[in-house]
Amino acid sequence: MVLASPARMSGTHWFLFIVIIAFIATAIWVFIYFLSVREALNFPVNWVFSELLNTVVFAILYLIVSIIQLNAWSGGYHPQFKDPNIAAGIFGIVNFLVYLVGAYFLYTDLKISRSVGAT
C-alpha cells in the first residue's frame, strides 16, 4: 500500500483499491479466528469454503492488478516514482503467490473436513 500511494496513474488506483479491500477482508478473517466467532455462532455457514472462496478471489484479483500496476509503470513516466511502484507490483505478485498457497491449504482442509464428516 505504501509503495503505490499516492496513486499517480489510473492503474495504481485499481491496484490500491484491491490491496485495501484484501487487507480489510483478511483482517476480518483474522478476527473471526482470533475471537472464535466460528465456534460462537451457529449459522449454517461452511466457514472453510467461504474463506477458500475469499482467498481464491483475492488471489486472482491480486494477479490481475499486479500485472496492471507493472504495466502502468513500465513506461518512462514519472521516473522518480517508478521504482516504488514497480516494487509495489512485485509485492503484489508475491501476495498473489501467498494467497494461492493459502487457497491450497484451505482446499486440503476442506477435503479433509468433508471426508471426516462423511464417515
Model confidence over 37-71: pLDDT tens digits? Answer: 888 887 888 888 999 999 999 999 999 999 999 99
Is residue 43 situated within a structural domain? Answer: yes
118: pLDDT strictly greater than 60:
no
Is residue 4 situated within a structural domain? Answer: no
Domain range for residue 84? 10-118
String of DSSP letters for 52-80: HHHHHHHHHHHHHHHHHHHHHTSSSS-HH
Is residue 1 situated within a structural domain? Answer: no
Is residue 45 situated within a structural domain? Answer: yes
Is residue 5 situated within a structural domain? Answer: no
User: Taking the model in full, what pTM does it have?
Assistant: 0.85
How many Å is the Cα radius of gyration of the chain?
18
27: pLDDT strictly greater than 90:
yes
Is residue 48 situated within a structural domain? Answer: yes
Give the pLDDT band (50/70/90) at residue 5.
low
Domain count, the chain: 1
Is residue 2 situated within a structural domain? Answer: no
Is residue 14 situated within a structural domain? Answer: yes
Residue type (1 letter), 93: I
CA 28, CA 6: separation in Å to the nearest integer? 25
